[in-house]
Structure 1
Amino acid sequence: MKLLLDFLPIIIFFIVYKASGDIILATAVLIPATLLQMLYTWIRTHRIEKMQLVTLVLVVLLGGATIIFQDKTFIQWKPTVVNWLFGAVFLGSHFIGQKTVVQRLMDANIALPPQAWRNLNIAWILFFISMGIVNLVVAYTMSEEAWVSFKLFGMLGLTFVFILAQGLYMSKHIQNDTQK
């Protein structure tokens, strides 16, 4: 359910774009859809994750710029900016604090050796950087319609495959409680 809720604004953006062929209109609908998603999340859980908050701010800023300037470039850059920011945070966690971001998010539920946590974090850094680059390649070399489809299906599909690969990697390194 949470995954559907997280992707609901993107799905709405996609539907509006496909129905209208207008990326500015789709962006104008994306902003309140994202705000409503955050409001719903807050009402249900009384918390908003930092990643959701960053995404919201960028949707409002870059989506707003798209509407004000009537220029799709701003909204097309949003996935790249989000991914590169997350990549920078994951990279920074190698140098700040005792644990990487991945370990902080998951070590309460999974025990892995320190090197496995570092490797996972590096994989996420590379994934975020790559996703940002791929988004720009699609945005600048393919049609607007292809980019809109990629934003929903391509990015979701690549993320799903990456998470599966992470799961396989973790399954090979999981330690039981006596090995901690």
Structure 2
Amino acid sequence: MKQILNILPMFIFFIFYKFYDIFIASGSLIVISGLICIIHWIFYNEIDKISLFSFLSVFFFGSLTIFFHNSQFIKWKITIIYIIFSLVLLISQFFTRKPMIQRFLEKDIKISNIYWRKINFIWSLFFLFCAILNIYIAYYFSETIWVNFKVFGFTSLTFFLILITSIYINCKISKNK
């Protein structure tokens, strides 16, 4: 349920963009992200950090997009988020005992710390790659292509890396048995 709530804003943004424009879509993104925080509070008695961070970033960049009537703000939102994710993973990689990915998944998955570090590093590079790719697409392609890629391209890339990561983890778990 939580995962569906976390990806719902992206698809709402896409639908409103297709029927209206990027400014209405940005407004809908702000509203749905806020509603998701409320839903988290009602059903789980907490607002998880990812939903709160997502709402705050959407509110900030979406509001700037609407206020200045400039789509560049919403286009930069995802780049900045990807850079933050990459930096958080890299910092945890080199300056903490456990990489961030391990902290999220270790209660469900038991593999060696060295494998967690490899996975963490790959994901940090992935987010950096996505940040660069987003800027490239935002500046060198049409807004429609950017929206389509934001929704379907990044989602596909993320699911692909999840699949590769899952296969890698499964191989490491199998070797440990």
Flag whether TM exceeds 0.5 (same fold).
Answer: yes
In structure 1, the partner of 2:103 is 104
In structure 2, the partner of 1:17 is 17
In structure 1, the partner of 2:171 is 172
In structure 1, the partner of 2:6 is 6
Structure 2: runs of 5+ lacking an equivalent: none
Deviation of the 1:120 alpha carbon: 0.4
Deviation of the 1:26 alpha carbon: 0.9
Paired residues in the alignment total 177
Deviation of the 1:49 alpha carbon: 2.4
In structure 2, the partner of 1:80 is 79
In structure 2, the partner of 1:29 is 28
Superimposed CA distance per residue, residues 16-42 of structure 1 (whole angstroms, 9 cap, x where no aligned partner): 11011x111111111011100111112
Q: Does 1:156 align with 2:164?
A: no
Structure 1: runs of 5+ lacking an equivalent: none
Question: What is the distance in 2 between the residues matched to 1:104 and 1:3?
Answer: 18
Q: Does 1:114 align with 2:124?
A: no
Deviation of the 1:123 alpha carbon: 0.6
Q: Does 1:41 align with 2:40?
A: yes
- Give secondary structure in 2 for the equivalent of 1:16: helix
Percent pairwise identity: 38
Taking only aligned residues, the RMSD between alpha carbons, in angstroms, comes to 1.6
Deviation of the 1:53 alpha carbon: 1.9
TM-score scaled by structure 2?
0.94
- Give secondary structure in 2 for the equivalent of 1:108: coil
TM-score scaled by structure 1?
0.93
Deviation of the 1:81 alpha carbon: 0.7
Question: What is the distance in 2 between the residues matched to 1:131 and 1:49?
Answer: 24
Question: What is the distance in 1 between the residues matched to 2:46 and 2:90?
Answer: 25
Question: What is the distance in 2 between the residues matched to 1:94 and 1:52?
Answer: 23
